[in-house]
Amino acid sequence: MSDPHSIWSKTVALEDIPERGLHVHVVADEATRQRLAQAASLRDITRLEASADLTRQAGQSVRVTGEVVASIGQTCVVSLEPIETQVHEAFDLVFSPQEPGAGAATTAEVPFDGEEPPELLTGGLIDLGAIAAEFFLLGIDPYPRKAGVVFEVPKTAEDPSSHPFAALAALKKGKTDEKS
């Protein structure tokens, strides 16, 4: 799958976020939807948009909360018929600038206390398009099923030897007989 950062990019600069916070709504254009559909092996994406609230926190940290919603064309895994499905995925992230003097290859050790460590805020930019693309991709149902469609196991013939696993059953029976 392609890197979401290279597919959809809508950045907000840290200095553009007022102390009271900022609400941003982004809508993916046709070209972006086509690239994401191709990356996710979807028939199409007819709607893809995200809303986010950016709030400054202590220091230079920023909390980004919001949701991504989409209407996508998929194929039912049972009937193989085309279906339309919806994606609705919430996100809640904290971005924090790199520690002074830390190298780009250095990873900070964060004790696990149940919360995710902050995302790295590089260049003073938060890419809402990339966030939306990542959470959109995570929200796609990998096994979509048309409403009311049920998988039924194929019926085997009356003859037990015609069963697909008949040869294995015969081998297993032969080993059981040898032990007796």
pTM beyond 0.85: the answer is: no
Q: Give residue 70's pLDDT.
A: 98
> Residues 165, 65: contact at Cβ < 8 Å?
no
Per-residue pLDDT, 162: 65
| Tens digit of pLDDT at every position of the chain (180 positions) | 445 557 999 999 999 999 999 999 999 999 999 999 999 999 999 999 999 999 999 878 999 999 999 999 999 998 899 999 999 999 999 999 865 445 444 455 555 566 778 888 888 899 999 999 999 999 999 999 988 877 777 665 566 666 667 777 777 777 655 555
Contact 50, 62 (CB under 8 A): no
Residue type, 35: R
Do 117 and 108 touch, CB atoms closer than 8 A? yes
- The tokens 């995200």 sit on which residue? 50
Q: What pLDDT score was predicted for residue 148?
A: 83
Given this model, what pLDDT does residue 150 score?
79
Q: Residue type for 15, please?
A: E
pLDDT score for 9 = 92
Please tell me what DSSP assigns to residue 158.
S
Give the C-alpha separation, 26 to 44, whole Å: 19
Task: Give me the pLDDT at residue 99, please.
Answer: 57
Give the C-alpha separation, 65 to 119, whole Å.
Answer: 13
Confidence (pLDDT) at 122? 83
Q: For 161, phi and psi rounded to 5 degrees?
A: -70, -15
- For the chain, domain boundaries: 4-153
Please report the pLDDT score of residue 101 as a whole number: 42
In angstroms, the Cα distances linking 13 to 88, 90, 117 are 26, 22, 21
